[in-house]
Amino acid sequence: MPALSEIFFPQMSGDANELGVLVEWRVPNGQKVAPYQVVAEVTVNKFDAEINSPAAGTLSWLVAAGEEVRQGDPIATVD
């Protein structure tokens, strides 16, 4: 059985405590994903980034679109 993989909000600025926003999920909650598939878009200070899945499995959101998130915090799991 594969291990649970976490997807983290990336460190995008020099201030680790700065909050970013999960702009949108590209994959619905509960859907199967492939390794390296783009699953979300995030932003910090007008800098956007796409987030890829680290593994194959079922995506489970931990954060809703539009929510503020601390950089480095988990936003989803893949099981």
Q: What is the pLDDT of residue 23?
A: 98
Residue 3, token pair as written in the block? 């291990």
| Mean pLDDT computed over every residue of the chain | 95
Strand partners, 47: 44
pLDDT score of 76: 99
Residue 49: give its domain's CATH number. 2.40.50.100
* pTM of the predicted protein model: 0.91
Distance of CA 22 to the CA centre of its chain: 7
Give the tokens for residue 63. Answer: 């954060």
Taking only Cα atoms into account, the Rg of the chain, rounded to an integer number of angstroms, comes to 12
- How many domains would you assign to the chain? 1
Residue pLDDT, tens place only, 15-72: 888 999 999 999 999 999 999 999 999 999 999 999 999 999 999 999 999 999 999 9
Q: Tell me the residue range of the domain where 26 lies.
A: 5-78
pLDDT band at residue 14 under the 50/70/90 scheme: confident
Residue entry with tokens 């499995």: 57
The per-residue pLDDT for 16 is: 81
Strand intervals (E) in 12-62 = 19-25, 32-33, 38-44, 47-52, 57-61
